[in-house]
A and B are shown apart, each in its own frame.
Chain A
Amino acid sequence: MVPLTHYLTLGAIMFFIGVWGVLTRRNAVIILLSIELMFNAVNITVVAFSRFLGQYTGQIFAIFVITVAAAEATIGLAIVIALYRGRDSLNVDEINLLKW
């Protein structure tokens, strides 16, 4: 029997590894990969709560999170392809047209 706190700790650490990736990496594809990591961490937390509360709503939420993650990955990668076609670079600190 694994206690709930273990799952919560795992989810929190994994989420913040993803946050660190989003904040520090320059490559746009790796930023998208880190976002997927964060989605998974949230799913672990939600499913763990669903199990320890004894109801299935959390699993439904996890399914919808996966659906939204699929849509997000599709659009994100399409934007990456469009960016690469337009600027020959995926470094997010060079894409600063809208930066004040």
Chain B
Amino acid sequence: MELLFFYIFAGVALLSAVLVVTNKNVLHAALFLILTFFCVAAIYILLRAEFLAAVQVLLYVGAIMALFIFTILLINVMQAQFLRQFHGQRPLAGILVVALLAETLYLLLGDVRGNFPLLQDRPPETAGKAGLEVLAHLLLTDYLLLFEVASVLLLAALIGAVVLARGDLPSVDRR
């Protein structure tokens, strides 16, 4: 049953991911990416990471993709769909991607037991609430420094975005 749901969500995620990178219309690509993010959230639930699924929907779909769509609507990119969509390095990129994918899959799946000896065949069942408690405890004890650095990073991104996107202000007459 779980396997069936995994195949459904993985299939939809991969299909819409392909549509993201091949779509002519930027707005449609962004909407297909939202579909991919929802499927990834469903896969987090299959992985018993309920908190991450909620964060995925709230942050990715609610914040990041809203930002993307606002930007797409702000800059008039609708005429861009009549331009050439791919540049000349497409065949080379195709060869590179297929080779790298084959290599990655070979390295990951060739000898899973030998590469990752600590893996468990049957992952332990965790109750959702206990998992969230452990997560919050880890985040505010072992990874507290990382937590604080992330807040500084977000502040820097905030200031940087305002400075970059502001453009030239009309000069104020100071007399």
Q: State the A residues within 8 Å of B (CB).
A: 1-2, 4-10, 12-21, 23-27, 29-30, 32-34, 36-37, 40, 43-44, 47-54, 56-57, 59-60, 62-64, 66-75, 77-82, 84-85, 90-93
Shortest CB distance A47–B (Å): 5
A16 touches B51 (CB 8 A): no
Interface residues of B (CB under 8 A from A): 2-3, 6, 10, 13-14, 17-18, 20-21, 23, 26, 29-30, 33, 36-37, 40, 43-44, 46-49, 51-52, 55-56, 59-60, 63-64, 67-68, 71-72, 74-75, 77, 80, 83-90, 93-94, 96-97, 100-101, 104-105, 108-109, 112, 116, 118-120, 122-124, 131, 134-135, 138-139, 143, 146, 150, 153-154, 156-158, 160-162, 164-165, 167
Chain A contact residues, majority secondary structure: helix
Query: Contact partner of B26 among A4, A16, A27, A37, CB < 8 A?
Result: A27
Which of B60, B77, B135, B164 interacts with A27 by CB under 8 Å?
B77
The dominant DSSP class at the B interface is helix
B123 neighbours in A (Cβ, 8 Å): 51-52, 54
- Contact A4 B119, CB 8 Å, known A23-B89, A24-B89, A75-B164: yes
Residues of B within 8 A of A69 (CB): 60, 64
Decide if B52 touches A12 in the complex (CB within 8 Å).
no
Given A4-B119, A24-B89, A78-B165, are A17 and B109 also a contact pair (CB < 8 Å)? no
